[in-house]
């Protein structure tokens, strides 16, 4: 049975992945870590440790203390936040990654860290972006992600670390509020549909980006980590996606259930410029062929679930 250490466990992915992995591998086999502590289930219902990922020594001793054999490294600043604080983003995103890789190398751990469609740039082919293509991002977040993909490849080829990763699109979830990503409009719009019946989008009409519902993203991580390593040609940068959508698509899907829903626009130049540098749609063929990637949720099915879960959440806290 795996013994898993998760960094950034209170973030958007970590808060749900931790609980999912505890269900799959056993509560005591998944050690959550973050730089802060909350009253959430992640902290209260399983092993939890405070950890600053820029502190290499503490990370090593914590991993050794719990005798882990797998590291899921999620601690990072997201795209819009990283662009506002580029030096902090470099120090946290890359410094933390190097530290985590070093621990994986020294303790012979399997290793996962997510990449992103942010690893692409304005010169990348926009439609059905290939698995292997030009990557010249123009954001600090994108530079971090490309550097991370290459660094993980290096640790695999140089040191034999079993590194694996996914290029995630925008991730949509009802559990954790948006946290500074360019694609967060696709989360905020559902919250505001329930709370206010309207939404003002900071991303312009007609701006297509890839998205995925969080349950599919969690399954993709676990499926990749369980995949036969001999079949993986692209270890650290698999394209994955569930849908390519623009704001009006989401609004139309919501109106199927809330006909009075209204949306207008107040475009944020920074996040819009980031969005325009990313693909309209990406090709996930390599992930399907090499380890059987699949998704359950399209836009319509996701919308039904998001609205139902958020209505329930509102009734519980309202």
Does 297 qualify as catalytic in the annotation?
no
User: Are residues 311 and 195 in contact, defined by beta-carbon separation less than 8 angstroms?
Assistant: no
DSSP string, 100-167: HHHHHHHHT-EEE--EEGGG--TTS-SSSB-SS------SHHHHHHHHHHHHHHHHHHHH---EE-EE
| Alpha-carbon dihedral angle through residues 220, 76, 237, 79, given to the nearest 10 degrees | 100
Q: d(Cα 184, Cα 178) in Å, to the nearest integer?
A: 6
Residue whose C-alpha is closest to residue 171's, from 218, 124, 129: 218
102 touches 154 (CB < 8 A) = no
3-state secondary structure of 79: helix
Distance in angstroms (rounded) separating the CA atoms of residues 144 and 182: 15
Structure tokens at 314: 């509102």
Angle formed at CA 171 by CA 145 and CA 190, multiple of 5 degrees? 145
**25, 141, 157, 297: which is the annotated catalytic residue?**
141
- Half-sphere exposure (Cβ direction) of 226: Cα atoms closer than 13 Å: 13
Which of 215, 211, 238 is closest to 227 using CA atoms?
A: 238
Catalytic residues: 141
């Amino acid at each position: 049975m795996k013994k898993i250490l998760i960094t950034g466990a209170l973030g958007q992915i970590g808060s749900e992945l931790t609980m999912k992995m505890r269900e799959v591998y056993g509560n005591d086999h998944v050690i959550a870590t973050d730089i802060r502590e909350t009253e959430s289930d992640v902290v209260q219902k399983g092993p939890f440790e405070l950890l600053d990922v820029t502190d290499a020594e503490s990370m090593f001793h914590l991993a050794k203390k719990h005798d882990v054999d797998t590291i899921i490294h999620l601690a990072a600043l997201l795209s819009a936040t990283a662009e506002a604080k580029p030096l902090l983003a470099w120090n946290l995103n890359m410094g933390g990654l190097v530290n985590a890789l070093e621990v994986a190398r020294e303790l012979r751990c399997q290793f996962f860290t997510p990449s992103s469609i942010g690893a692409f740039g304005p010169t990348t082919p926009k439609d059905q972006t290939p698995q292997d293509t030009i990557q010249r991002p123009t954001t600090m977040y994108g530079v971090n992600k490309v550097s991370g993909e290459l660094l993980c490849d290096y640790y695999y080829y140089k040191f034999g670390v079993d590194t694996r990763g996914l290029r995630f699109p925008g991730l949509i979830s009802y559990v954790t509020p948006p946290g500074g990503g360019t694609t967060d409009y696709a989360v905020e719009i559902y919250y505001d549909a329930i709370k206010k019946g309207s939404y003002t989008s900071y991303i312009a009409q007609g701006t297509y980006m890839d998205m995925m519902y969080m349950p599919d993203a969690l399954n993709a991580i676990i499926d990749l980590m369980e995949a036969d390593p001999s079949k993986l040609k692209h270890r650290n940068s698999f394209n994955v996606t569930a849908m390519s959508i623009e704001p009006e698509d989401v609004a139309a899907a919501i109106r199927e259930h809330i006909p009075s829903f209204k949306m207008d626009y107040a475009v944020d130049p920074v996040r819009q410029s980031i969005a325009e540098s990313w693909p309209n749609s990406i090709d996930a063929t390599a992930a399907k062929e090499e380890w059987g990637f699949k998704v359950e949720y399209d836009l319509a099915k996701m919308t039904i679930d998001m609205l139902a879960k958020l209505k329930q959440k509102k009734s519980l806290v309202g």
